[in-house]
Structures are given as structure tokens and as C-alpha cells.
Chains A and B, each alone.
Chain A
Amino acid sequence: MRRRHLWLAAAAFLLLLSAGLLSLVEPSPAPPRRQVEFPAAHREADRQRQAARRTLERPAGPAASRPPSGGDAAPAAPARRDPFLLALPVRPGEPVVVIEANALRHSRLGQLFVACTTAGDPRAFEKARRETGIDPLKDIDRVGVVGSSMVVSGFFDRARWDRLVAEGGREEAPYGEAGRIFSAPGQGTIAVWRDQLVVISPDAAAARQSLDQLEGRAPAPEGALPEEAAYGEVYGVIPGAAVQRLFSAADRELGARLAAAASRVELHVDAMEDVAAVVRMEGEDRAALGDLARTLGGALAAGRLQAKARGDAPLVELLDAARVVDGGQGLSLELALPASTVERWFEGCAGLRPPPPPAP
């Protein structure tokens, strides 16, 4: 072997030795992050849940259940519908967000929340149940927020509606086949349907719209929140116009640009163990969406670096698991919080702390 090769071999050996020696005192790398499963699509369990919820045989109304462009070729609406989705009093440009309250209550996050609440006031939920007849931990299934109205599904047969009249000064009036409307001037409207659904709205028209949709007197809110988009523990659809309204007057231009790029924003959150959120944005202008994806990606990277520089560990953890996926018809922003992080948030909660050591 030529002398030059010996020197090269010595160089390589010494480099390896250097790497080995330095690695001995390097801090051990952080364990690989457990993969969080994102709610990216409708899953079999979601389909089964939805099938079980299609309990309402909705009569075919004049324009009901047919898309505006309908015609003979349009597919017929399902014979049975989910009454909750049907009751959402959606108006054009209004956001719809649904919270699976019962599922969330049984999630890790929900258990921690309940433990934290009852630690501060052990009778908090019991008091609510006594006053309203509704057990917030058992009787509420889903909560939907549509604009300024709220639709709640669950078991309300023990609800004390009589108190709304006797103590709240509301007037009760039957509406349609199975609806009741409780109203009072200046107090908003509460509509109840078959002790299964409650609509709370500042606007009596929205409450009536909800009951009309349920009983076939008004068209179903097709497209606002399709069944295919109803998965996860929190889900919803926010039109671009509603996104724009979230911005203050000073940021109106930014809001307008965002709304122009993302004409439809879909939200899905899984929270049974880890909290994983997907915000999907769709729009006509692919170039603008691409720019938005790069902007968000850059902002996440810059935020991650700033959080690291500040030593903000919770934010670093959140941003480490955040990413922007640009593809298909739009872009998706994925955010995750591992269950361990969520648990740490509740560590300071009264009652969840370990008991103090006994006094000497």
C-alpha cells in the first residue's frame, strides 16, 4: 500500500475516533416523538356512528332535501337523517362547529377537565343537574354552534322546562308537530324538539328555521356540514367570509386575503387520547393557496425557533408536531398535543396536585 493511502486510512480512523469520543459526552437525543394520528378522513367508526344516528325519517318537502340545481338526475336524499345535523339553522356565510360533548367527556382531556372542575367544587355538576334537570356529564350528546345560535342534542326528558315559564317569564308555544318554543322579549328564544334537541338562539327566526328543517317545512341545510365532514370530537366548516370577520379592523386586509385564498375552512379535532387537529383550507386560487401554505409553514418554523430561543417548552412541543400539508384541492394545517402535554396542563389544578407533606 502506498504511503499516501496509509495517511488517508489514518485520517479516516482518527475521524471515527473523534466522532466516537465526542458522542460519549453528547446529551442523549430526545426519544422519537410518538406518531399522532390525525383525523384526515372519515373512518369506519365514524360511518358506523353516523349510521346509528340516522333516526329521523324526514318527509320530502317542497324544496327539501334537493339541491338547488337538482333535477331528476340529482341523487335522492337519504330516507333517514341525523336530526341533529338536520336541525342546524345554517345561513349562507355562517360558520358551523360541532362539539361531540359526550365523547369529549370520556376522553383523557374530558376526564382531566371534569376532575379539575370537581376538585374545585365537588358539587358543581350536581348543582347544575338539580337546577335544570339536565346532567351535563350524561345528558348532553352534541353541541353545535351556528353563527350566534346553538343546537344541543341529548336526553332532555327530565329537563325542568317549567322553570323557564315560572321563573324565567317566558311564554311557551307549541310549534309544528313536536316542537315547543319558549320566548320572552329581549331574552332570546329556546326551542325544544321531542326532548332530544334544544335550540338556543337570540333570533326567533333561527329557532323556527331549525324546527322547520326537522319537520320538512324548510329545505335541509345540505352542504353546510355534510355527513362526510362530521368526524372527530370537534368538527366544523367555516366559510371564508366568516374567517374574514375574525380579523379586527386593523387586519381587515389580511383577513380579506385569507378569505379570498381559503373560501372554505374545514376543522377536525380528535381528542380521545392525544389532541390532534386538522384545519383544511380549500379555495379556487391554487397559487394563492400555495403562497398561504408556504406562509404558514414559514410562520411555524419561525415560531418554533423563537419559542426555542425563549425556552417556551410547551409551545416548542406544539410547534414541533405542527406541519402544513399542501396537496390535492387545498392545504391542511396539522397540529397535535400529546396526551402527556395535556396532562401537564392540568398538573396545577387544585385537587389534582399531590397532597402536601404532613406538618412536622
Chain B
Amino acid sequence: MSVLAVAADLLREAFSRKWTLAILAATTGLLLLAAFGLELQVVDGALAASRFLGHADRGGIRPVDVALRPLFEGASSLLYGAGLIFGVLACADFAPALLAPGRIEHLLSLPVRRWELLLGTYLGVLALVLFGAAYGGVGLSLVILGKTGLFGWAPAAAALLSAVAFSAVYAVMILAAVAVRSAAFSAAAGGAALVAFLLAGYRAELAPAFAPGLGRGLFLALTAPLPRLSGLGSHAFALARGEGVQGAVLLAQLGGTFLFGAAVLAGAVALFERKDF
């Protein structure tokens, strides 16, 4: 229960921050812009042709869902990448604020264990990011539905996968904040982790760049447990292209991402247990 209380406290604090409200307002603004400003002539044309000719795929006219694939793919890529970067920048301050002098002593005087504090903060931030992803991703899917009459799961899936991917990145950010209580350091660690996790998806291609032997072995060993964020995102892009999702691969990548996040969080707790406040 203490964990949930800490998470709820963080969410309360987040929604009281102008920064969080500004991000929410900006997201809403972008969705409204898409809703009222987006002109999808190709879709209008396909829909009109369907009505006029009776068959959407008659002649050279493509079905609407095929015509919209590039749009869904672009939106998915944008949401996945922007969600991760946005998360790193927007959430860099939460853990350092928790450890701020005065506040941490107060929190530690409460009947809350140290691991509960960290886990609560972690889950609170993840809940916030998940909410933002759902709002932006599902919102965009709904806007496209409103404009075209076609619901595409890809933008929503990309946003949710981005939130899952961020769980591993944020674990690294918490570890960095426990080591050095600085929002800038936490954000830098998050950025570095993001790059490393994206590259981990290409470890097989990158390995030949290292000399065979110790160097290559070390590279492969170090990158083995890292989440494959590029692979995770590719499932949303595949959905956007109308291709099937490989369920087993997706599950393994989700599991690996959660396990890595949990491992780093455990490391952060171990470091936190050592700290004197």
C-alpha cells in the first residue's frame, strides 16, 4: 500500500506542476490541430470513389486502409520516438526532487521502506507516462478515425510501446538520480540509455566492428541484457504497414524490457540502502 501511496503522491505532485500541465495542453493543442487542420485528400478521394464507383479498389484507386498506411507509419514513428525523448526530458526531475534535502529526511521518518519509496516513484512516473501515451496515441487514432472513418491501432500501439520502453529508460534515470542527485545528470543518463537501447537492437550488425576475441565478446556480453527498443518499436510500425505482429517476439521483448528495468531498479535500491541522509 505504501508503494501505491508514494505513486499517488507523485501523480498529485505532477498534476500540480505547471510543466506537466503545459505538456498536457501542448498535446491537446496538437490533437486539435490534427483534428481541424489535417486535410487528407487522398482519403477523401478514395472515399468518394468508393461511393461513386461502388468498389474502393476499382481501377487504380487504392483501398483507404492501404492509402493510409504511410500516414499511420509516420504517426507511429513520431509517437514512439517523441514519446521516449519527451519522457526523458519531462520526468528527469521527479527522482532528484524526491531526494531533495529536507524532503527525503521527512519521507524516511514516515513508516515507508526505502525500496517502497523508489518503487512508488518509479510506478508513479510510469503511470504518468502511460496516461500521456494513451492520451496522445489513442487521441491521434481517434482523430484519424474521425477524419477517415478508419480506426488504426498503430499510433495507439506505438504510444503504449513507447511507454513500456520508457520503463527501462526511467529505471536507469532513477539509478543515476540516486547516485548523483541532479536532474541534468538523470536526463543525460536517460539519453545515453536510450541510445544504447536503440543500438542494442542492432548488436548483431555492430559486433563485426569489434575485433574478434575479448573486444567483441565484451560488447556482446554487455549488450545482451539491454532492451531492444528498435525491435519493440518495429512492431507498431509493422502494424501500421498492415503486416502481422510476431507475438512471441513481442512478448519476449516486452519481458526483457521489464526484467531489465526491474534489475536496474533493484540496483538503485541497493545503492539507496547504502546512502546516509
The reply to whether B256 and A21 contact each other, CB–CB distance below 8 Å, is yes
Q: Would you give the 0/1 interface string for B234-254, flagging 1 where the beta carbon is closer than 8 Å to chain A?
A: 000000000000001100110
The reply to whether A26 and B266 contact each other, CB–CB distance below 8 Å, is no
**Which of B26-34, B62-70, B148-156, B269-277 lines the interface with chain A?**
B269-277
**A residues less than 8 Å from B255 (CB atoms):** 18, 21
The reply to whether B267 and A7 contact each other, CB–CB distance below 8 Å, is yes
**A residues less than 8 Å from B260 (CB atoms):** 14-15, 18
Q: Is B11 at the interface (CB under 8 A from chain A)?
A: no
Q: Is B59 at the interface (CB under 8 A from chain A)?
A: no
Q: Would you give the 0/1 interface string for A273-289, flagging 1 where the beta carbon is closer than 8 Å to chain B?
A: 00000000000000000
**A residues less than 8 Å from B249 (CB atoms):** 25
**B residues less than 8 Å from A22 (CB atoms):** 224-225, 227-228, 252-253, 256
Contact of B208 among A13, A24, A320 (CB under 8 A): A320
B201 to chain A, nearest CB (A): 10
**B residues less than 8 Å from A11 (CB atoms):** 263-264, 266-267, 270
A351 to chain B, nearest CB (A): 37
Q: Give how many A residues have a beta carbon under 8 Å from the other chain's beta carbons.
A: 25
Q: How long is the Cα–Cα vector from A25 to B247 in the complex, in angstroms?
A: 11
Q: Is A8 at the interface (CB under 8 A from chain B)?
A: yes
A336 to chain B, nearest CB (A): 15
**A residues less than 8 Å from B35 (CB atoms):** none
Q: How long is the Cα–Cα vector from A308 to B208 in the complex, in angstroms?
A: 12
Q: Is B14 at the interface (CB under 8 A from chain A)?
A: no
Q: How long is the Cα–Cα vector from A290 to B112 in the complex, in angstroms?
A: 65
Question: B248 — nearest CB in chain A belongs to which residue?
Answer: A25
The reply to whether A3 and B224 contact each other, CB–CB distance below 8 Å, is no
**B residues less than 8 Å from A15 (CB atoms):** 225, 259-260, 263
Contact of B273 among A3, A14, A17 (CB under 8 A): A3
Question: A30 — nearest CB in chain B belongs to which residue?
Answer: B204
Q: How long is the Cα–Cα vector from A17 to B262 in the complex, in angstroms?
A: 11
- Please classify the interface of chain A as helix (H, G, I), strand (E, B), loop, or mixed, using the class held by over half of its residues: helix
Identify which of A15, A16, A320 gathers the most chain B CB atoms within 10 Å of its CB. Answer: A15
Identify which of B263, B273, B274 gathers the most chain A CB atoms within 10 Å of its CB. Answer: B263
A310 to chain B, nearest CB (A): 14
**B residues less than 8 Å from A27 (CB atoms):** 204
Q: How long is the Cα–Cα vector from A140 to B269 in the complex, in angstroms?
A: 79
Q: Is B115 at the interface (CB under 8 A from chain A)?
A: yes
**A residues less than 8 Å from B39 (CB atoms):** none
A173 to chain B, nearest CB (A): 62
A26 to chain B, nearest CB (A): 7
**A residues less than 8 Å from B208 (CB atoms):** 320
Question: B266 — nearest CB in chain A belongs to which residue?
Answer: A11
Q: Is A340 at the interface (CB under 8 A from chain B)?
A: no
Known: A4-B270, A27-B204. A21 touches B263 (CB 8 A): no
**A residues less than 8 Å from B262 (CB atoms):** 14
The reply to whether A19 and B266 contact each other, CB–CB distance below 8 Å, is no
Q: How long is the Cα–Cα vector from A254 to B273 in the complex, in angstroms?
A: 64
Identify which of A4, A7, A24 gathers the most chain B CB atoms within 10 Å of its CB. Answer: A7
B160 to chain A, nearest CB (A): 20
Contact of A26 among B204, B225, B267, B269 (CB under 8 A): B204
Q: Which of B173-222 contact A (CB under 8 A)?
A: 204-205, 208
A161 to chain B, nearest CB (A): 56
Known: A25-B252, A26-B204. A19 touches B269 (CB 8 A): no
The reply to whether A8 and B228 contact each other, CB–CB distance below 8 Å, is no
Q: How long is the Cα–Cα vector from A7 to B267 in the complex, in angstroms?
A: 6
Q: Is A29 at the interface (CB under 8 A from chain B)?
A: yes
Question: A32 — nearest CB in chain B belongs to which residue?
Answer: B212
Q: How long is the Cα–Cα vector from A13 to B270 in the complex, in angstroms?
A: 14
Q: How long is the Cα–Cα vector from A236 to B143 in the complex, in angstroms?
A: 70
Question: B208 — nearest CB in chain A belongs to which residue?
Answer: A320
Question: A14 — nearest CB in chain B belongs to which residue?
Answer: B263
The reply to whether B253 and A25 contact each other, CB–CB distance below 8 Å, is yes
Question: B115 — nearest CB in chain A belongs to which residue?
Answer: A7
**B residues less than 8 Å from A5 (CB atoms):** 270
Known: A18-B225, A19-B224, A308-B205. 14 other contacts (CB 8 A): A10-B263, A11-B266, A14-B262, A14-B266, A15-B225, A15-B259, A15-B263, A18-B256, A18-B263, A22-B224, A22-B252, A23-B224, A24-B252, A27-B204
Mind listing 16 A-B residue pairs with CB under 8 Å?
A4-B270, A7-B269, A7-B273, A11-B266, A11-B270, A12-B263, A18-B225, A18-B256, A19-B256, A21-B252, A21-B256, A22-B253, A25-B248, A25-B252, A25-B253, A27-B204
Question: Which 5 residue pairs spanning A and B have beta carbons closest together?
Answer: A14-B263, A7-B270, A18-B259, A11-B266, A19-B224
